[in-house]
Amino acid sequence: MPPAKGLHPALLKSHRRQQILFVLVIGVLLVAALSLLFGRYPAPGLISWRQLTSDELAARLVLNLRLPRLLTALLLGMTLSAAGMVFQLLFNNPLVEPGFLGVSQGAAFGAALAIVFLGGAALLTQASAAFFALAGLGFSYLLARRLRYGGWVLRLLLAGIAVSALFSAGLGLLKYLADPLSQLPEITFWLLGGLASITWGRFLTVLPVTLLGLLVMLIFRWRLNLLSLSEETAFSLGAAPGWERWLLILAAVLPTAALIAVSGMVGWVGLIMPHIARRLFDADARFSLPASMLLGGLFTMLCDDLARTLLAGEIPLGILTSLFGALIFLALMMFQKAKVKQ
């Protein structure tokens, strides 16, 4: 929609941001399409349309292995980044990420527990990781209610840190008990994160909760600004800081827990993408939240492309997201922000 003449620069800017977001959506779709064709079969590089139609194995590979994996990478990136943005706003703190309420460490503990004591079958590991991720959130909440210190935001933060530390101690113990030849490497690989084991079945187990969470975060995007203010102020503006915050925390944490349970630890996406989005789109979550979501999806897809194609063997996704995430972050922070000055 072309903006009318004579609009205030701020309105023009919001129109332009909508257009940039639209371009970003196209970009994500384009990268997704290319990623689908990109791989190491039959030869490293892009698969051609002719090969895809003539080679049955190629078609099956693309449809049954690459597509669910690609979609999971996309959802994982979108969810972690959107959830990171939501957490940073709700806690009024740019240093928190979606896993910190005991969720990441809970999932890690759950996965290790399944590997050491329950045989380590893929689905069982996923279920155990998801269960303990949610248990981490539950413990954090219950503990926060019992703490006698500070407001609820601070209590929840402290409780999350304490629960994470407990799970991380438990994880250490499990590693110590693990068989160093078979189980320990498996735990280590799970902790490094990766999407090599994704099938349609596993993808479909996380799809509903993820879509629901993303949708809730998206429709609350402007409202999130209000909820980032003090509770009294949010209340004075007609918001219900109590249940609206909890709804958004759940919308952020449930899909995060579900996805971490299948992907393992994929670090830095949820922390860094919101910063990059705010850097490019300012703080207003009306734009920075969808931007964070799209950038996160794009970034994670690209990292996963590299993870599966760079070497003959698989590179753990978590290593690449941390490496490139940190590099992009540093680069952005070192360059002066390109801002429209009036």
Burial class (CB in 10 A: 0-12, 13-18, 19+), 33: exposed
Amino acid occupying residue 311 = L
Question: What is the pattern of x (binds another protein, CB under 8 A) and - over residues 261-290?
Answer: -----------------x---xxx-x----
Alpha-carbon distance of 144 to 102, in angstroms, equals 12
HSE of 142 in the Cβ direction (CA atoms, 13 Å)? Answer: 7
Q: How many residues of this chain bind another protein (CB under 8 A)?
A: 35
State which residue, 181 or 340, has the beta carbon closest to another protein.
Answer: 340
Whether residue 194 contacts residue 125, with contact meaning beta carbons closer than 8 Å, is answered with: no
Q: How far apart are CB 36 and another protein at their closest, in Å?
A: 34
92 binds another protein (CB under 8 A): yes
- When binding is defined by CB under 8 A, the residue of 24, 31, 83, 89 that contacts another protein is 89
Contact at 8 Å (CB) between 262 and 193?
no
- The minimum distance between CB 219 and another protein, in angstroms, equals 5
54 is a contact residue toward another protein (CB under 8 A)? no
Out of 233, 242, 311, 327, point to the residue binding another protein (CB under 8 A): 233
Q: How far is the CB of 5 from another protein (least distance, A)?
A: 13
The residue among 284 and 314 lying less far from another protein, judged by its C-beta, is 284
Phi, psi of 194 (to 5 degrees): 175, 160
The answer to whether the beta carbons of residues 258 and 210 sit under 8 Å apart is: yes
Binding piece for another protein, criterion CB under 8 A, among 48-56, 138-146, 184-192, 233-241: 233-241
Residues 6+ apart with CB under 8 A from 59: 52, 53
Which residues lie near another protein (CB under 8 A)? 7-11, 88-89, 92-94, 219-220, 222-223, 225-226, 228-233, 235-240, 278, 282-284, 286, 340, 342
